[in-house]
């Protein structure tokens, strides 16, 4: 039973319900899109702050490398170019900083002493080495720290030139070579941000001796599209940071939840709208039934009374035409009430065809009809309207194989000329119709 009612309601109001659902869904999708846009913008704002922190750590990392290299170089200068107790100093540097792997002296390009010791420390010429030669020459000629990448991508090497002030002037002595792990520095930055917003990053540095760019360090997680970018100076090595959230700028789980919620809310709105639509339709149908003649579908006596009273509150003239079928009782007595009902229905249609677009026709009971007609303006035109009713009704009626010739009696009154209230108008129209009927009998 419930299913049948719901099916019937859906069939009657499906177009309206689909329209409401589509509208509600469109508004919901706009809200979700705005929410996602706001979320992405908020995420980028948070990542802006994190990017500044990562860039600060990157610069601190280079400053730390340079300070350690300067410290080792200053020791050589104090000892007038002799390694002396450099091994002990290098050990202290390496042990105090977990990111530092090795510290090596390379006077005139030949590595001689460092910590921890390594068999390759001797016999390697930095200036002539294929991978480091250009970097070392640039560092020597410009007096600045440069970074180079070795065979191990996790290890980066900083080359710092050392100069001695001798009697002949300032002369190049060699290099301090410091190997370090960039990851150690960046993991500390990541740990500070991991609780709130983990990030994926890539930091690269420029190679001033050839204008290229080398990856310095990157996170295990890949960057997403359109990452934030930062540029900063780190001595001769310009740092370039790319940073993004892990996975996506957008929270797809939240987006899916919002879309599901939008679908649910839109469905609820459509359901409630269907309920109100049904109530409105039922109210409309009930009102229509209350003011409609069940047999002919014309307006009934109740509606006629309300329309007439409302019209009499204004001064606009109108005709009230009372119409009665002649000898209708004889049709019922001869052919039965079924034929009589068909005759009433057919008569209602013909009378309606005689009306203008703004006119109304009422069945007020039995074989009695009343036409509410806008005043055509003259007695002659009013009479012509009455003759049109008679003309249309004179055509034979063919009902279930029976042919009937019918006449009507009419009487009309003009408001407000003939009467100014509804009861008087109706009584006068009925009287004039009755007079015409009597004249036909005589």
Question: Strand, helix or coil at 400?
Answer: coil
Q: What is the mean pLDDT of residues 167-174?
A: 81
Confidence of residue 6 (pLDDT cuts 50, 70, 90): very low
CA-based end-to-end distance of the chain:
62
- CA separation for the pair 101, 42 (Å, rounded): 40
With 90 as the cut, is the pLDDT of residue 152 above it?
Answer: no
Pairing of strands 212-218, 318-325: unpaired
Q: Is the predicted pLDDT of residue 14 greater than 70, yes or no?
A: no
Residue 432: Cβ within 10 Å count:
18
Least trusted range by pLDDT, from 266-275, 313-322, 329-338, 423-432: 266-275
Q: Given pLDDT bands bounded at 50, 70 and 90, which one contains residue 369?
A: very high
Residue 245 CA: distances (Å) to CA of 139, 142, 225 = 36, 38, 10
Contact 410, 323 (CB under 8 A): yes
More confident: 189 or 339: 339
pLDDT tens track for 247-257? 887 777 777 77
Listed range (188-192, 207-211, 306-310, 396-400) with the worst mean pLDDT: 188-192
Q: What is the pLDDT of residue 318?
A: 92
Q: Which residue has the higher pLDDT, 85 or 347?
A: 347
Which residues lie across from 299 on neighbouring strands?
292, 362
Q: What is the pLDDT of residue 5?
A: 42
429: tokens are 């129209």
Is 68 within 8 Å of 160 (Cβ atoms)?
no
What band does 65 get if pLDDT is binned at 50, 70 and 90?
confident
Higher pLDDT, 113 or 104: 104
What proportions of the chain, in percent to the nearest 5, are helix, strand and coil? 50, 25, 25
Residue 189 confidence (pLDDT): 62
Q: What is the pLDDT of residues 124-138, one digit of tens each?
A: 677 777 667 888 889
Dist. CA 403–CA 271, nearest whole Å = 53
Instruction: Output the average pLDDT for the chain.
Output: 82
Rounded CA Rg of the chain: 51
Residue 370 has pLDDT above 80, yes or no: yes
Residue 68 pLDDT:
87
Q: What does the angle CA 230 – CA 234 – CA 237 come to, to the nearest 5 degrees?
A: 95
Greater confidence, 106 or 269? 106
24/75: higher pLDDT: 75
Flag whether pLDDT at 122 surpasses 80: no
Instruction: Using a pLDDT cut of 90, give the percent of the chain over it.
Output: 17
Phi/psi region, residue 247 (left: phi>0; alpha: psi -120 to 50; beta: rest), is left
Q: What is the pLDDT of residue 121?
A: 63
Q: Can you tell me the distance from the alpha carbon of 260 to that of 32, in angstroms, rounded to the nearest whole number?
A: 10
- Which range, of 44-58, 251-265, 298-312, averages the lowest pLDDT? 251-265
| pLDDT above 70 coverage of the chain, percent | 87
- Res. 285 pLDDT band, cuts 50 70 90: low
Confidence of residue 258 (pLDDT cuts 50, 70, 90): confident
Which residue matches tokens 């009374």? 305
Cβ–Cβ < 8 Å for 159, 150? no
**In CATH, which superfamily holds the domain spanning 301-441?**
Reverse transcriptase/Diguanylate cyclase domain (3.30.70.270)
pLDDT, mean of residues 319-324: 92
pLDDT above 50 for 308: yes
d(CA 205, CA 14): 64
The whole-number pLDDT of residue 1 equals 41
For residues 110 and 122, what is the distance between their CA atoms, to the nearest angstrom?
6
* Higher-pLDDT residue of 321, 288: 321
CATH superfamily of 14-245: PAS domain (3.30.450.20)
Res. 425: pLDDT tops 50: yes
Q: Work out the average pLDDT over 54-60.
A: 84
256-267 as b/e: b if 16+ CB within 10 A? eebeeebeeebe
Long-range Cβ contacts of 218-223 (<8 Å, 24+ apart) = 219/186, 219/190, 221/246, 221/247
Calpha distance 25→352 (Å, rounded): 46
pLDDT at 33 over 90: no
Identify the pLDDT of residue 2. 40
User: Nearest CA to 241 among 273, 216, 272, 274?
Assistant: 216
Span 179-214, pLDDT tens digits: 888 887 777 666 655 545 578 889 898 888 888 888
- Segment 155-166, tens digit of pLDDT: 888 899 999 887
Do the beta carbons of residue 140 and residue 161 sit within 8 Å? yes
Whole-angstrom CA distances from 168 to 40, 171, 174, 431 are 63, 8, 17, 143
Question: 324: helix, coil or strand?
Answer: strand
Segments making up each domain of the chain, as ranges: 14-245, 301-441
84-104 per-residue burial string, b: 16 or more CB within 10 A, e: under 16: eebbebbeebbeebebbbbbb
Q: What is the pLDDT of residue 193?
A: 54
Band of residue 30 on the pLDDT scale cut at 50, 70, 90: confident
Distance, CA of 439 to CA of 442 (rounded, Å): 5
Q: In what order do the strands lie in the sheet with 368-374?
A: 360-365, 368-374, 318-325, 408-415
């Amino acid at each position: 039973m419930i299913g049948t009612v719901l099916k019937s309601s859906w069939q009657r109001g499906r177009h309206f319900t689909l329209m409401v659902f589509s509208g509600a869904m469109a508004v919901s999708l706009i809200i979700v899109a705005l929410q996602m846009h706001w979320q992405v913008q908020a995420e980028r704002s948070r990542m802006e702050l994190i990017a500044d922190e990562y860039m600060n750590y990157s610069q601190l990392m280079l400053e730390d490398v340079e300070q350690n290299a300067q410290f080792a170089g200053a020791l050589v200068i104090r000892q007038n170019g002799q390694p002396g107790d450099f091994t002990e100093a290098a050990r202290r540097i390496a042990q105090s900083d977990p990111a530092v792997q090795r510290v090596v002296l390379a006077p005139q390009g030949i590595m001689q002493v460092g910590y921890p010791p390594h068999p390759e420390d001797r016999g390697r010429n930095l200036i002539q080495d294929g991978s480091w030669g250009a970097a070392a020459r640039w560092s020597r000629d410009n007096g600045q720290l440069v970074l180079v990448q070795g065979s191990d991508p996790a290890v980066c090497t900083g080359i710092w030139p050392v100069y001695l002030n001798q009697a002949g002037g300032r002369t190049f002595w060699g290099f301090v070579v410091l190997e370090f792990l960039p990851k150690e520095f960046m993991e500390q930055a990541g740990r500070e941000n991991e609780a709130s917003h983990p990030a994926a990053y890539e930091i690269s540095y420029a190679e001033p001796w050839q204008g290229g760019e080398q990856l310095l360090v990157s996170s295990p997680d890949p960057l997403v599209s359109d990452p934030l970018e930062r540029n900063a100076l780190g001595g001769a090595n310009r740092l370039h940071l790319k940073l993004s959230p892990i996975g996506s700028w957008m929270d797809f789980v939240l987006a899916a939840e919002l879309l599901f919620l939008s679908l649910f809310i839109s469905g609820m709105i459509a359901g409630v709208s269907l309920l109100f639509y049904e109530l409105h339709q039922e109210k409309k149908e009930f009102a229509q039934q209350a003011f409609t003649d069940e047999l002919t579908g014309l307006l009934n006596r109740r509606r006629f009374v309300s329309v007439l009273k409302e019209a009499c509150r204004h001064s606009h003239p109108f005709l009230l035409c009372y119409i009665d079928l002649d000898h209708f009782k004889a049709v019922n007595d001869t052919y039965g009430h079924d034929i009589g009902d068909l005759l009433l229905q057919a008569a209602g249609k013909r009378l309606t065809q005689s009306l203008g677009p703004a006119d109304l026709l009422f069945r007020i009971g039995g074989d009695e009809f009343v036409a509410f007609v806008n005043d055509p303006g003259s007695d002659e035109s009013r009479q012509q309207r009455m003759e049109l009713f008679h003309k249309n009704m004179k055509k034979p009626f063919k009902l279930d194989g029976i042919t009937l010739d019918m006449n009507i009696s009419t009487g009309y009154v003009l408001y407000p000329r003939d009467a100014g209230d509804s009861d008087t108008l109706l009584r006068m129209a009925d009287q004039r119709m009755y007079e015409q009927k009597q004249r036909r009998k005589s």
